[in-house]
Amino acid sequence: MKTLAPSINEGRLWPGYGLRVRKDGNRAVAVADADCRCGKFSRSASGDVEVESLVIAYGRHRRDDCPIPEIRAAAKKQYEALQRSLSKRRK
Ligand SMILES: [Zn+2]
């Protein structure tokens, strides 16, 4: 089956893994934790800057470093979709 607009919900595909970011209200400190299914990436962070770098590191791991091909393929699609939506917004 072909989908024109793939929506990837990693949490549904692999329960218990993925990226979770929580921030409640403007003054709350952002908290995030990320686990990859391969088990090589498992980190948590708190604070806006730390959370942002965790999100970036997690994305890079999944796209470039992860030993699981499905994860790299899914991350590549997500990254391309993100790039598309970012460049649209800039125009
Ligand atoms: Zn991985």
Q: Ligand 1: distance of its center to the CA of 42 in Å?
A: 9
Distance 36 CA to ligand 1 centre (A): 5
What's the mean pLDDT in 29-46? Answer: 92
Residue 65 has pLDDT above 90, yes or no: yes
**Enclosing H/E stretch for 56:** helix 48-60
Residue 57 C-alpha from the chain's centroid: 9
How long, in residues, is the chain? 91
Residue 2 pLDDT level (bands cut at 50, 70, 90): very low
Q: What's the pLDDT at 71?
A: 93
- Comparing 11 with 58, which gets the higher pLDDT? 58
| Mean pLDDT, range 48-69, rounded to an integer | 93
The per-residue pLDDT for 69 is 95
Ligand 1 centroid vs 89 CA: distance in angstroms? 30
- CA distances to 1, 58, 65, 88 from 6, in Å: 11, 20, 23, 18
CA of 4 relative to ligand 1 center, distance in Å: 26
Residue 33 predicted with pLDDT over 80: yes
| Segment 78-87, tens digit of pLDDT | 888 888 888 8
CB atoms within 10 A of CB 72: 16
